[in-house]
Amino acid sequence: MACYYRQNEETTVTIPKYTNETSSGGVTYYDIKVRVAKVEWMVERRYRDFAQLHDKLVEDIAISKKLLPPKKLVGNKQPAFLEQRREQLEAYLQELLIYFRTELPRALAEFLDFNKYDIIYLLQDLAKLFDESGDALLSSKKEYNLSALEVFAISERLSLPCPPNVDRDGKYDFSHVLDFCTQLVALVVTPVKDNASYAQDYNTVDVPIGRSNIIPNRLNFNLNAFRNLKTLKFSALSTENIVDIELLKPTLQTICVHNTTIQNICQVLLCDNLHKYCDVPSLLPEAIRPPSATNGSILISTDAWQELTDLDLTGNLLTQIDGSVRTAPKLRRLVLEQNRIRVVQNLDELPHLQLLSLSGNLIAECVDWHLTMGNLVTLELAQNKLKSLKGLRKLLSLVNLDLSCNQIEDLEEVDYVANLPLLESLRLTGNPLAGSVDYRPRVLARFHERAVEISLDNERGSQQELDTALVLSALLQSKQRQRQK
Amino acid sequence: MAVKMSKIRGIANKLHERIDCLIEKCPNMTAAPYNYNYIFKYIIIGDMGVGKSCLLHQFTEKKFMANCPHTIGVEFGTRIIEVDDKKIKLQIWDTAGQERFRAVTRSYYRGAAGALMVYDITRRSTYNHLSSWLTDTRNLTNPSTVIFLIGNKSDLESTREVTYEEAKEFADENGLMFLEASAMTGQNVEEAFLETARKIYQNIQEGRLDLNASESGVQHRPSQPTRTSLSSEAANVKDQCSC
């Protein structure tokens, strides 16, 4: 990202070419190339824009009126003339840049798109916005979307030796931005603002911003300005771009990361930690710690997420649940939908976990899950590869269970979950067994007298189904008795 | 002449307020866009590790931040307080004490209405550096900036190296306000920030501080966003309100 304040010595403006295609109505556009150190971008302007800029500069700052090449009414389409004018306009811009060595006037900054790509001028835009409507935005309590570039600019600006206010009436004062940031409760960070296509497809994260060479995924920032954040959402942008997250740990309650290429949870929960791939030590006191947890090499030391209750990592490339979830001991909701997880592990130190969603993963078996997550109330396992439900048989607090679109064939498997005393909702649609004759009454029959209370595939049993179920249940019981004899 | 000017300014400032009062009393006018009347800008300065960030945190969050990391560049906090029934928003810039950030720190002096200069009562070196901090403050702020000296860590009485008396003397010699405070227990923290605000407010009332100057560090927020001039506003009030 550009910083003219610091790098004005390395700033150049050129006009490499002009275009006057018939598609644009024969209007001649000059393609301006701005370069600030390693950052560069293109801006397209026509002569009329130059004239307007010039008028404003003459009026506000009293620069020489003769600086801009004059308007020509006849013959202004000839290549020789356009080439000459291109050179003149280039010289004009270069002259302006010498004139405004330390600080660009707003009109010029906007003309050259500095307010899109430069730290100081971009934040001036934000300051103006928050000065006018910051309080309204905050009082609505909604989440607020900032682009990676904006977050980066805020974080960089805090260590820039540049006074916060430049103008007289304080409209562009950086304080307004920080004032807003410190009070913001829910922040969404995306590569660019309000662009749905980015959120959809994480393969495009290396696309630069606008007509510049700035790539959002390569901007590293901290979020220290956001002192009271409770919800943090990242979309199509890796949390590894955060260089320091310690200050957010005491307040953050919800973290959502969607549509990125992250493969491990530690890339989120330990995003700023250099040793994140080392084994995370158990946070339990030594006396009650399971012996296995102490074996790993304990290299990592990190503060826990004291308030984090919700973690939603839908739509990434996670392959496992690594030990870093232990750093969030108060987790209540863990959503890991649409990933590539095969094995469920490391959940044994999350006693508050109530909702676990693993829909759309590659889980083929569940082994004695009650040993690690005994307090689950809602478990979503739709679109996995489960064949057997034996491992769920003692999840005694379970109320909602979604098993749709798995590979359960045998009706006997239902018995394992039919014994769960609190179960109210069960979804089995999309499994091979759901295609069999009398599927609904036969499943309901497995619940015996509790069949009335069960909602199967989002629907209570009809009277007819329940009657059938009752008969089937009686048959089942008599069969069982015979077997016992 | 100067006395007259300040009197006139004082009267003008009071008029501003009177109008705000009138507007607030009129129920049929649109709701105030801001929930405060003034913004005061503060800056906290002092050597590394004296507890500037902790003071800020204690003031804004009413909590003590143990193992607080070093400030990089600057940090920021706000709180709305009340002085004389006026809501005042404090925008506080917390600067880095480390020498390598001195350039960053210096750029934030400009336009501060209040400067809190902090030293650590258990480390004499931080007290000895005060004169250089004071020189910076005097050079880079305007004459009406209120400077408040805080001796932090007053809870650590046993390891004290700077006595209350000598610091008090230093403050009096240089015309500073002074308190010893503790960011850990919260003792006197509230007082230091509020006393500074009261002093600034008093300066406004007495016209020593020009609200319209760009670097006064004070912004007045009219309850109505579209104020253009005093006279038209006053006329407006008369038209629409019966009080």
Task: Write the pLDDT tens digit of every residue in B199-242.
Answer: 999 999 988 887 777 677 888 876 544 444 444 444 444 444 44
* Domain shared by A256 and A123, yes or no: yes
Least confident of A204-218, A348-362, B115-129: A204-218
Q: What is the pLDDT of residues A83-111, one digit of tens each?
A: 999 999 999 999 999 988 888 898 999 99
Both A136 and A52 in a single domain? no
Q: What is the pLDDT of residue B29?
A: 43
A81 and A166 share one domain? no
Mutate to test the interface with A, among B61, B76, B219, B223 (most CBs of A within 10 A): B76
Residues B4-19 have a mean pLDDT of: 71
The pLDDT tens digits for A389-433 are 999 999 999 999 999 999 999 988 999 999 899 999 999 999 999
Q: Is residue A100 part of a domain?
A: yes
Mark yes or no for CB contact A164/B103 under 8 Å: no
Residues A180 and A110 in one domain: no
Residues of chain B with Cβ-Cβ distance to A247 below 8 Å are 69
Q: Are A5 and A122 spatial neighbours (Cβ–Cβ below 8 Å)?
A: no
Higher pLDDT, B13 or A101: A101
Segment A378-382 mean pLDDT: 95
Whether the pLDDT of residue A26 is over 90: the answer is: no
Q: Would you say residue A441 lies in a domain?
A: no
**Is A288 part of any domain?**
no
- The residue written with tokens 């902790």 in the block is B54
Q: Are A153 and A176 in the same domain?
A: yes
Quote the minimal CA–CA distance from B196 to chain A in Å: 20
Q: Which of A210-219, A235-244, B55-64, B217-226 has the lowest mean pLDDT?
A: B217-226
Averaged pLDDT for residues A326-346:
92
Residues A314-332: tens digit of each pLDDT: 999 999 998 889 889 899 9
Same domain for A142 and A12: no
Q: How far apart are CA B138 and CA A291, in angstroms?
A: 63
Of A235, A261, A287, the residue at which a domain comes to its end is: A261
Shared domain check, A122 and A221? yes
pLDDT at B40: 92
Domain residues for A256? 118-261
- Nearest Cα to A378, choosing from A325, A333, A320? A333
Q: Are A173 and A108 contained in the same domain?
A: no
| Residue B129 sits at the chain A interface (C-beta within 8 Å) | no
**Using CA atoms, how far apart are residues A143 and A141, in angstroms rounded to an integer?**
7
pLDDT at A438 over 70: yes
Domain ranges of chain B: 38-205
3-state secondary structure B195-221: HHHHHHHHHHHCCCCCCCCCCCCEEEC
Rg (chain B; Cα; Å): 20
Share of chain A above pLDDT 70, in %: 91
Confidence of residue A221 (pLDDT cuts 50, 70, 90): very high
What is the pTM (predicted TM-score) of this model? 0.84
Q: How far apart are the CA of A163 and the nearest CA of chain B, in angstroms?
A: 5
Q: What are phi and psi of B16, to 5 degrees?
A: -50, -45
Nearest-Cα distance to chain B for A349, in Å, is: 26
Taking the Cβ of residue A169 and every Cβ of chain B, the question of whether any pair is shorter than 8 Å is answered with yes
Contact list in A for residue B89 (CB cut-off 8 A) is 179
Secondary structure class of A238 (helix, strand, coil): coil
- Per-residue confidence (pLDDT) for residue A467, from 0 to 100: 92
Q: Which of A207, A238, A261 is the last residue of a domain?
A: A261
Residue-wise pLDDT tens digits, B98-143: 998 988 898 889 889 999 999 999 999 999 999 999 999 999 988 8
Single out the residue of A220, A214, A225 nearest to residue A187, CA to CA.
A225
Tell me whether residues A163 and B75 touch, CB distance under 8 A.
no
Mean pLDDT to the nearest integer, B14-18: 69
Higher pLDDT, B98 or B33: B98
CA distance B91 to chain A (A): 7
Instruction: Report CB contact under 8 Å: B72, A165.
Output: no
Residue A352 lies in a domain: no
Q: Please, which residues bridge with residue B86 across strands?
A: B83
Residues A220-226 have a mean pLDDT of 91
pLDDT at position B226 is 41
Residue A299 has pLDDT above 60, yes or no: no
CATH of the domain at A92: 3.30.1520.10
Indicate the pLDDT class of residue B30, thresholds 50, 70 and 90.
Answer: very low
Long-range contacts (CB closer than 8 Å, 24 or more residues apart) made by A9-17: A10/A35, A10/A36, A10/A37, A11/A35, A11/A36, A11/A37, A11/A97, A12/A94, A12/A97, A13/A90, A13/A93, A13/A94, A13/A97, A13/A112, A14/A90, A15/A86, A15/A89, A15/A90, A15/A93, A17/A86
Higher pLDDT, residue A50 or B229: A50
- Residue A190 is assigned to a structural domain of this protein: yes
Among A130, A132, A165, most B C-beta atoms within 10 A, so best to mutate, is A165
| ipTM of the modeled complex | 0.75
Of A59, A83, A116, the residue that ends a domain is A116
Does A210 share its domain with A79?
A: no
User: CA of B71, closest CA in chain A: separation in Å?
Assistant: 10
User: Is pLDDT at A298 greater than 70 in this prediction?
Assistant: no
Q: With contact defined as beta carbons under 8 Å apart, do A368 and A347 qualify?
A: no
Domain count, chain A: 2
Rounded to a whole number of angstroms, the distance from the CA of A120 to the nearest CA of chain B is 14
Whether A158 sits inside 8 A of B101 (CB atoms) is no
- The contacts of residue A433 (CB under 8 Å, 6+ apart) are A408, A409, A410, A411, A413, A414, A439, A443
Q: A306 in a domain, yes or no?
A: no
Dump pLDDT digits (tens) for B141-169.
Answer: 888 899 999 999 999 999 999 999 999 99
For residues B7 and A424, give the distance between their C-alpha atoms in angstroms, rounded to a whole number: 77
Question: For A245-262, how does the pLDDT look when each residue is reduced to its tens digit (9 = 90+)?
Answer: 888 888 899 999 998 888
For residues A96 and A127, state if they share a domain: no
What pLDDT score was predicted for residue A429? 93
Contact A335, A341 (CB under 8 A): no
- Give the whole-angstrom CA distance, residue B77 versus residue B62: 12
* Residues in chain B closer than 8 A to A160 (CB atoms): 73, 104, 107
Cβ–Cβ contact A159 with B under 8 A: yes
Q: Measured between alpha carbons, how far is A368 from A384 in angstroms, rounded to an integer?
A: 17
**B28 pLDDT above the threshold of 70:** no
Both tokens assigned to A331? 């987790």
> pLDDT class for A194, splitting at 50, 70, 90?
low
Secondary structure (DSSP) of B179-199: EE--TTT-TTHHHHHHHHHHH
Considering the domain boundaries, does residue A197 fall inside one?
yes
Q: What angle do CA A475, A476, A479 make, to 5 degrees?
A: 85
Judge if A109 and A31 occupy the same domain.
Answer: yes
CA atoms within 13 A on the CB side of A103: 10
Task: Give burial (CB, 10 Å; 0-12/13-18/19+) of A359.
Answer: buried
A183: contact with B, CB 8 A cutoff: yes
Q: Are A202 and A236 in contact (CB under 8 A)?
A: yes
Buried-exposed string A142-160: b where 16+ CB fall within 10 A, e elsewhere: eebbbbbbbbbbbbbbbeb
Query: Is there a contact between B76 and A170 if contact means CB atoms under 8 Å apart?
Result: no
Share of chain A above pLDDT 90, in %: 48
Task: Place domain B38-205 in its CATH homologous superfamily.
Answer: P-loop containing nucleotide triphosphate hydrolases (3.40.50.300)
Kindly state whether residues A66 and A169 are assigned to the same domain. Answer: no
Give chain A's mean pLDDT: 86
For residue A427, is it within any domain? Answer: no
Q: Positive or negative CA dihedral for A34, A36, A40, A41?
A: negative
